[in-house]
Structure 1
Amino acid sequence: MNWSGLLQCTAIDKHGCTMISDCYYEGAFKLIRPVYLHPSQPTIYLIHLGGGYVDGDRYKTEIVLKEKAKLIATTQSATKVYKTVKMPVQQYTFIHLDEQSVLEFLPDPLIAYENAKFYQETTIHMKESSTLIYSDMITPGWSESGELFRYDWIRSKLKVYYEGSLKLFDHLYLKPGDEITGILQMEGYTHFGSFLVLSPFITNNVVHEMETVFSSFSSQAHIGWSTPMVPGLVVRILAYETDVIEMIFRAIHELIRKRCFGEGSIFLRKY
């Protein structure tokens, strides 16, 4: 199968320090040399060599963490989806987390421009002792008319297999024109954010502390949260600005790192 961009990365633990043991990329995808923002935990930046995603593009990313490996993954810039005349842009991400591994996958926002069609599917296989921290954000791109929500549609699927069983399935479908700003959809807001944490370290005490964090942003965004079938937390955010959602993401991430791992915050953005 031909891919516009293909990236595969495997991380292993060696004497308490995570290393990239195997890396391959081709097409429009590239992976730069890991940056150690934390002494034992590399940060990798996923790079798209073109200016954005266009008609018919197909991308695949696979990240594998072996036992006890810890990795932070983010992108170099926002994912920009431009006009798709014939075929939608498709993006597939596969994540495999072995025992006691920790992946923090925090990409920049997805920006869908006028007449864009985008399909995204993320499949995660993880162990009971592993930890996943995952965020996703969608913002409306510029259009010649100045109107928001000029993209054709966005469809995003997330599947999490926990010890081999499907425990979480999330399907987001946004199609302008179908009362997207109305009740049960965007509720008048323009930006959408989702933050997922699945970890044995997520206790009731951590969840209660999160409630305090959410309340501090009540005047800037509409935030909802729930606990899945396995230890963890799912957060949904509706707002009017990218910066607001990113601030909430940082606050959640900082609390998780502090309470679950005893680690300080890490600033990932490039600006």
Structure 2
Amino acid sequence: MRETGLLSLEAKKRHARTKIHGYYEGAFKFTRPVRLDDDCLSVYLIHVGGGYVDGDTYGSTITLGEGAELAVTSQASTKVYKTPSKPVEQHTKIHLGADSVLEYFLDPLILYEGARFIQNTTIEMEPDAVFFYSDIITPGWSKDGVNFRYDWVRNKLKVYQNGKLVLFDHLLLEPDDELEGVLQLEGHTHVGSFVLFHPEASREFAEWLYENVFESFPDVRLGISDMEGGGIVIRILGDRTQTIERILSHIHTFARRELLDKGEISWRKY
């Protein structure tokens, strides 16, 4: 099966600076790298079409060599439209070498009426590598103003350290009478996630992060879990994309400052 879009990106550290090379074809592209500051080399992923439609398939591979540092984001939101015959599929594989740092922050996923979407993201990393990841899932505009016109979204995230599965996060949203109920979205419409792996991301750090977020956003619906091996998963429920974006940006900045000794990142998209 030929993908609608295919992308491969590799980053290596040479002479104390990260260099990248790769290729793309079809509806996927990436920009020339942009150095937003002395420490942060950034790449923007671009979808050249107007959105994802019935039967589209996308594949991407990102590889960071030892000591490489890279920040990856998208140019705009991912829009998934009606899929009457086959769901849209997006498969991403990420390989992180020793002492590498990847910050992977795509814009929100917007699901319109009749959309079905499968997203599989697999990360294979060394124990001392660093991985920051976030995503937002939001229902798209509908003519009658009713939420959850999409059919379903299945989002799987797997993280392996030294070949051992340390995280399997499977988020399935399938609109029905219970989606907004207890133990699901609990009356909310938007879901945000933040995942980080860092050797110093201990339970104490998770508690510190939790307290810091609530000082700035006392009304947020947020859950946080820590794992062995320096992993933390955060889930946010809300009703506005912009609100969740602000919270995720706050978490990202806090983690960058405390774990990477770096300042706030400015993507400069608009």
Which category describes the TM-score, using the shorter chain as reference length? over 0.9
Paired position in structure 2 for 1:6: 6
Within 5 A, what are the aligned runs for 1:53-202?
53-202=52-201
Counterpart position of 1:260? 259
The alpha-carbon distance between structure 1 residues 33 and 95, as it changes in their structure 2 partners (threshold 3 A), is same
Using the size of structure 2 for normalisation, the TM-score is: 0.97
Give the 5 Å matches for 1:14-33. Answer: 14-20=14-20, 22-33=21-32
Which secondary structure state, in structure 2, belongs to the residue aligned with residue 115 of structure 1?
Answer: coil
Q: Which moved more, 1:225-234 or 1:64-73?
A: 225-234
Is the Cα contact below 8 Å between 1:254 and 1:266 reproduced in 2? Answer: yes
8 Å contact 1:214–1:223 — kept in the other structure? Answer: no
Whether 2:172 is the aligned partner of 1:203: answer no
CA–CA separation in structure 2 for the residues paired with 1:262 and 1:82: 40
How far, CA to CA, are the matches of 2:133 and 2:106 in structure 1?
A: 8
Q: Select between 33-42 and 108-117 the one with higher mean Cα deviation.
A: 33-42
In 2, the alpha carbon distance for the partners of 1:146 and 1:219 equals 29
What is the total number of aligned residue pairs between the two structures?
A: 270
* RMSD of aligned alpha carbons: 1.2
2:202 and 2:226 in contact (8 A); partners too: no
Judge conservation of contact 1:118–1:153 (CA < 8 Å) in 2.
Answer: yes
Does structure 2 retain, via aligned residues, the 8 Å contact 1:137–1:192? yes
In the superposition, relative to structure 1, how do residues 269 and 41 fare at CA in structure 2: closer, same or farther (>3 Å)? closer
Question: CA–CA distance in 2 between the matches of 1:24 and 1:218?
Answer: 41
Pick closer, same or farther for the CA change 1:264–1:217 going to 2, 3 Å: closer
CA contact (8 A) 2:36 2:267 kept: no
| Superposition deviation, residue 126 in structure 1 | 0.3
Q: Tell me, in whole angstroms, the C-alpha distance in 2 between the residues paired with 1:32 and 1:223.
A: 34
How far apart in 1 are the matches of 2:268 and 2:86? 31
Q: Secondary structure at the match of 2:213?
A: helix
**Where in structure 1 are there 5+ consecutive unaligned residues?**
none
- Distance in 2, Cα, partners of 1:269 & 1:90: 29
Identity between Structure 1 and Structure 2 (%): 49
Partner of 1:212: 211
Runs of 4+ displaced beyond 4 Å: none
Q: Deviations over 1:148-172 (max 9, x none)?
A: 0000000011111111111110111
Shift of 1:39: 1.6
AA aligned to 1:240 is: D
